[in-house]
């Protein structure tokens, strides 16, 4: 009797409809501003006053057959080293896939307070697909370092186009001050081609000579810096910024690739 029923059970199993794919978070990338064009960040160690940007993809969203819209909620939570929740935000969204498919890009960012306690933190991102009644979560860990000389709040576009004005922006934080309450810092910005050859003269800034007017580093030890360059040709380049705190005998470096794209068809 059991042998006669077995083939029917197999047929019934094969005929059952396949379950719809559940929503899924993929392709997490830690990067600099501006989103989504910022260069990829090499680590997740942040300084006070810094930003942590993350891009990702939401896969297999369900779209309404009538409206063409997907409806979902993103939940961003931030936890400290003791697993205590210190921030939570829910964001409802409705989107249309104008290029087809079931993927939607997303991004998030966390700003570090200048007085925030150093240590290890965790971000938990959850996406709830309202139509499919499914969800997915991912956890990302990062570290907030104690205050020290460095580069924070970085704007580093990884792509550009000929004729565009490209700009690298950041802030120097926690500079060592001498007896006159002044820094002794040298910042050098260089540009290299894909063969490692320097393509222009370096741009050098000297502090305190180039401090913004009215800057008071005793009150706020934070110096915004900006290095604009004109993209006169296509190619692959590397932006290399080296900051040296001579008074404190400390160094910091920012290095990222820049791909200048040319769609004109010229050579």
Mean pLDDT by 10 residues, the chain (267 residues): 40 47 93 95 93 96 95 96 93 96 94 92 97 96 96 97 96 95 97 97 97 92 96 97 97 97 74
The CATH class for the domain spanning 24-144 reads: mainly beta
Domain ranges in the chain are 24-144, 162-260
Helix (H) or strand (E) holding 259: strand 250-260
CA torsion, points 27, 122, 44, 110, in degrees to nearest 10?
90
Pick from 178, 265, 207, 193: nearest CA to 235: 193
Residue 10 has a pLDDT of: 36
Residue 16 has a pLDDT of: 45
Question: Would 24-144 and 162-260 be classified into the same CATH topology?
Answer: yes
Pick from 192, 144, 175: nearest CA to 48: 144
Helix (H) or strand (E) holding 191: strand 185-193
Q: What 3-state DSSP class applies to 248?
A: coil
- Model pTM? 0.85
CA distances in angstroms from 110 to 51, 107, 227, listed in the order given: 6, 11, 24
**The CATH homologous superfamily of the domain defined by 162-260:** Immunoglobulins (2.60.40.10)
Residue 267 has a pLDDT of: 53
Residue 64 has a pLDDT of: 95
């Amino acid at each position: 009797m059991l042998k006669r029923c077995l083939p029917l059970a197999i047929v019934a199993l094969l005929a059952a409809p396949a379950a719809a794919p559940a929503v899924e978070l993929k392709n997490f990338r830690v990067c600099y501003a501006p989103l989504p064009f910022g260069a990829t960040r090499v680590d997740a160690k942040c300084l006070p006053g810094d930003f942590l940007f993350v891009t990702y993809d939401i896969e297999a969203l369900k779209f309404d057959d009538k409206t063409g819209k997907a409806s979902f909620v993103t939940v961003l939570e931030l936890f400290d080293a003791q697993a205590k929740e210190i921030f939570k935000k829910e964001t409802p969204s409705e989107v249309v896939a104008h290029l087809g498919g079931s993927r939607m890009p997303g991004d998030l960012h966390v700003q570090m307070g200048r007085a925030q306690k150093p240590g290890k933190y965790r971000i938990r991102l959850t996406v709830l697909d309202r139509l499919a009644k499914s969800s997915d979560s991912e956890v990302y860990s990062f570290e907030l370092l104690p205050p020290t000389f460095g580069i924070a709040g970085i704007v580093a576009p990884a792509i550009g186009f000929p004729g565009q004005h490209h700009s690298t922006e950041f802030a120097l934080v926690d500079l060592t001050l001498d007896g006159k309450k002044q820094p002794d810092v040298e910042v050098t910005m260089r540009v290299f081609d894909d063969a490692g050859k320097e393509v222009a003269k370096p741009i050098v800034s000297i502090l305190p000579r180039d401090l913004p007017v009215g800057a008071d580093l005793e009150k706020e030890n934070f110096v915004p810096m900006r290095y604009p360059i004109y993209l006169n040709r296509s190619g692959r380049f590397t932006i290399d910024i080296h900051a040296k705190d001579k008074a404190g005998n400390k160094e910091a470096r920012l290095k990222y690739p820049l791909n200048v794209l040319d769609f004109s068809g010229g050579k």
